[in-house]
Amino acid sequence: MAYDFNATISTWFSFSSPIETVVSLKLILLFLTFALAINAQTRVIPKLSPKNLNVMAFHIISVTTIGVLMLILGSTVRYGGI
């Protein structure tokens, strides 16, 4: 997506244009999703019990919210970015 809008790797986290801002934010959200997935897989799921279901619910809600934010950010590209 970034290369389609002339946002090269060297400018991804510069936040200098609206498209680069969207690409940078989406990459940050993607890395955050990976971090939550690794955390859930290594720390939450192995110790899952009825007592700590709130922690798992936090991970599920967080990943869902991040997905919705990525959808919204992706749709702003159509209108020129943020």
Q: How far apart are CA 15 and CA 27, in angstroms?
A: 12
User: Residue 39: what are its φ and ψ, rounded to 5°?
Assistant: -60, -45
User: Residue 42: what are its φ and ψ, rounded to 5°?
Assistant: -95, -30
Number of domains observed in the structure of the chain: 1
In a domain, 72, yes or no: yes
Are 40 and 59 within 8 A, CB to CB? yes
**pTM score of the predicted model:** 0.88
In a domain, 43, yes or no: yes
Q: What is the 3-state secondary structure (H, E, C) of 42-72?
A: HHHHHHCCHHHHHHHHHHHHHHHHHHHHHHH
- pLDDT digits 0-9 by tens, 5-45: 777 888 888 888 888 899 899 999 999 999 999 999 999 99
The boundaries of the domain holding residue 11 are 3-77
In a domain, 82, yes or no: no
